[in-house]
Amino acid sequence: MAKSKKLDSLIKALQIMPGVGPRSATRIAYHLLARRRNESLTLANIIEDAMHNIKLCKSCRDYSDDDVCPLCSNVKRQNTGLLCIVETPSDVRAIDNAHAFEGLYFVLHGHLSPIDGIGPEDIGLPILQDKFEKGEIKEIIIATNPTIEGDVTASYIASMARNFDIKVSKIASGVPVGGELDNVDENTLATSLKNRLPY
């Protein structure tokens, strides 16, 4: 029995969020109503603003408030001639948080998947081709996911880049740093052996 239809709608609507099922949506809804009415109104405004106004940077296709994001406008980063190619905007965030890369990014928003009808145009490869043609990129680092689709996409991009004499590398796959070997799956271990480095 629904005592408040608005509350039921809220509980249902909250479930568009990943990881939020009926139980946690219910908990969230009651919590917001009881203790966070003002902050919830702010949240609603922020969601609205974000969904209407966050666009894709014209250069890297990452989420941006402006036509070109601050990272792409950064001359120091431009001068590196380095371009890191990733599948999703959250990959950019992950890599940037590692503080180990000072170049530019390019976001595919997916990977090649002929079965699903996802071809080169759908993942922005014509824009990438333009970048290659301009001659400002000296090296690309491919950081697609280490999955079959990610690898296929990587090799497609690698052959595009080679037409322009651009250096191509791919991020290393292997055992996670700080992990324990017996928790690592067989494929990863096999890869880490195949890709072993001189010591």
For a copy of itself, which is the closer residue by CB, 40 or 113?
Answer: 40
Report, in Å, the least distance between residue 113 CB and a copy of itself. 16
Of the pair 18, 114, the CB lying nearest a copy of itself is at 18
CB-wise, 10 or 125, nearer to a copy of itself? 10
Q: Which is nearer to a copy of itself, 91 or 166 (CB)?
A: 91
Minimum distance of a copy of itself from residue 126's CB (angstroms)? 20
- Structure token digits, residue 121: 């145009």
74, 47 contact by CB (below 8 A)? no
CB < 8 Å & 24+ apart, contacts of 132-137? 132/160, 132/161, 132/163, 132/164, 132/166, 133/164, 135/164, 136/78, 136/81, 137/81, 137/82, 137/83, 137/161, 137/164, 137/166
- E strands of 33-192, at which residues? 55-56, 63-64, 82-86, 104-107, 139-143, 167-170
**Chain contacts with a copy of itself (rule: CB under 8 A):** 1-7, 9-10, 13-14, 16-20, 24, 26-34, 36-54, 57, 62-65, 69-71, 88-90, 92-93, 96, 109
Least distance to a copy of itself from the beta carbon of 173, Å?
23
- Shortest separation between residue 80's beta carbon and a copy of itself, angstroms: 15
